[in-house]
Copies of this chain bind each other. A is one copy, B any other.
Amino acid sequence: MQIVLIEGDGIGPEVTQAACRVIAAAGVQVEWIKGMAGAAAAERYGEPLPEQTLEMIRRYRIALKGPCTTPVGHGYRSVNVRLRQGLDLFASVRPVRTLPGIATPYEQVDLIVVRENTEGLYAGLEHEVTPGVVESVRLITRPAAERIVRFAFDLARQMGRRKVSFCHKADVMRLADGLFLECARRVAEDYPFIQFEEIPIDTLCMELVLEPRRFDVLVMENLFGDVVSDLAAGLVGGLGVVPGANYGTRYAVFEAVHGSAPDIAGRGIANPIAVIRSAALMLEYIGYRQEAQRIEQAVLATLKAGIGLTPDLGGDGTTMTLTEQIIHHLHAG
C-alpha cells in the first residue's frame, strides 16, 4: 500500500519517522511516497506547496503529514490552508479526550470538533476599500453548510456519538449564520436518532471551560472551528498530544497540528504522540480499524505508565524511548 508522507519542517522528520515505525509495528505495511511541503519545499522548489506534492496526494489519495512552516515575508499563504483548499478537504476533525497521566484541570473530556475547511473568512477574499479601510469577506454557502453538517452527523453515527452541537453567531450574522443554521436544522432532521443542539460561539467557548463534558460532537464554520479546535486541545493538554485529520470526498490528509518547534528540532526529544495518533486516525479511515485501535490503546497505556516520556510530558526520555514504549505496549496489548 502506498501512502504519501510529508515530513514537514523542524521536528517533522523525527515525529513522522516515529509514526511510520509504529504503523509498521502494528503490522501494516506501507510504502511511503515522500512529498515535500513547508519551508524545506520553499527552499528547494521556491514554493512551500509545490504542485507535485498536491499531484502526489491526488494520485495516492492519502497523506500523513508533519508540521509545515509557511515562510513569512514572501507573500505565501498558509501551506495548511492551501492544502485543504487545493484538495477540497472540506472537513477538519479534531478528536479530543482526556489522557491518562497528563495533568489538566478537566476530567473525562471526550469530544470531537468538526470544522468546515473551505469557506468562511478563509476564502481569502479581502480588499482595501481605501487606504486604512479593509474588508474581508466571510463566505457561507448552502452546499458547503449542508455538506459539513451531514459529515458531522455521519461521523457521530459511525462513532456511536449521541449529540451534535452546531455552533454559530446567528444573532449578529443573521443572513449568513441564519442560512447555515437553516441548513443545519434541515440536515439534523435526517438523523432523528442523534440529539441536535444549537449554540452561539461565545456561549460555547464559555461552556467549554465551565463544563466541557456536556459536549460530544461539535460542528461549525472555518474560523470558529479553528478557535474551538485549539481551545478543545487545551482542555486535554495541548497540541502536542491531539491528532488531526482533514477529509474530503476523494482525499484525506492526517496531520500533527502542532508547530515545527525549531528550538528542539534535531535533538531527538520531540513528542511524536500527535502524529502517531493522527496515523491511527488514518489507519482507521483506510480500513485498518483494529490496528488503529491498538495504536491508540498503546499510546494511552504508555502515557498511563509514564515511562520514557519526552520532556514536554514531564519525562526525561526521547522521541526514541517514547516510540519504543508505544511499540512495547502495542505488542503487549
- Which residues on A are within 8 Å of B, measured CB to CB? 70, 77-78, 81, 105-106, 121-122, 125-128, 131-143, 169, 171-176, 179, 201-203, 205-210, 223, 226-231, 233-235, 237-239
Name the distance in Å between A48's Cβ and chain B's nearest Cβ: 13
* Distance in angstroms between the alpha carbons of A203 and B257 in the assembled complex: 12
Known pairs A133-B142, A234-B209; A78 contacts B172 (CB<8 A):
yes
- Give the number of times this chain occurs in the complex, counting copies: 2
The answer to whether A179 and B134 touch (CB under 8 A), given A106-B105, A205-B205, is yes
**Contact partner of A229 among B174, B202, B209, CB < 8 A?**
B202
Per the bound structure, the CA–CA distance linking A7 and B174 in Å amounts to 27
Smallest CB separation, A167 vs chain B (Å): 10
Task: State in angstroms the CA–CA spacing of A142 and B131 once bound together.
Answer: 9
Contact pick for A231, options B131, B133, B205, B229, CB 8 Å = B205
Tell me the complex Cα distance, A138–B201, Å. Answer: 17
Further contacts, 7 of them, CB under 8 A, given A132-B179, A169-B226, A201-B223: A121-B169, A126-B176, A133-B140, A134-B175, A136-B137, A136-B138, A203-B230
List B contacts of A235 (CB < 8 A): 209
Contacts of A125 in B (CB 8 A): 135
- Could you pull out 11 A-B pairs where Cβ atoms are within 8 angstroms? A78-B172, A105-B105, A133-B140, A135-B138, A136-B173, A169-B226, A205-B205, A205-B227, A206-B234, A206-B238, A208-B231
A132 to B169, CA, bound (A): 17
A107: nearest chain-B partner, CB-CB: B105
Asked if B126 and A173 sit within 8 Å, CB to CB, the answer is yes
Chain B residue contacts of A239, Cβ below 8 A:
206
Across the A-B interface, give the 3 residue pairs with the lowest CB-CB distance, nearest first. Answer: A105-B105, A132-B142, A209-B234
Residues of B within 8 A of A126 (CB): 173-176
What is the CB-to-nearest-CB distance from A312 to chain B, in angstroms, rounded to a whole number? 12
What's the Cα separation between A125 and B105 when bound, in Å? 40
Q: How far is the CB of A102 from chain B (nearest CB, A)?
A: 11
B135 touches A121 (CB 8 A): no
In the assembled complex, the CB of A294 is this many whole angstroms from the nearest CB of chain B, namely: 29
Question: Within the assembled complex, what's the spacing in Å between the Cα atoms of A203 and B134?
Answer: 24
Beta-carbon nearest neighbor of A131 in chain B: B142
Could you say which residues of chain B place their CB within 8 Å of the CB of A136?
137-138, 140, 173, 175-176
Question: Is B142's CB under 8 angstroms from A135's CB?
Answer: no
Q: How far is the CB of A90 from chain B (nearest CB, A)?
A: 16
Q: Are A209 and B231 in contact (CB under 8 A)?
A: yes
Q: How far, in angstroms, from A77 to B172 measured CA to CA in the complex?
A: 8
CB of A204 to closest CB in B, whole Å: 9
List residues of chain B with CB within 8 A of the CB of A135: 125, 137-140, 176
Contact B230 A206 (CB under 8 A): yes
- Say yes or no: B138 contacts A121, CB within 8 Å: yes
- Chain B residues, Cβ within 8 Å of A176: 126, 134-136
Shortest Cβ gap from A121 to chain B (Å): 6
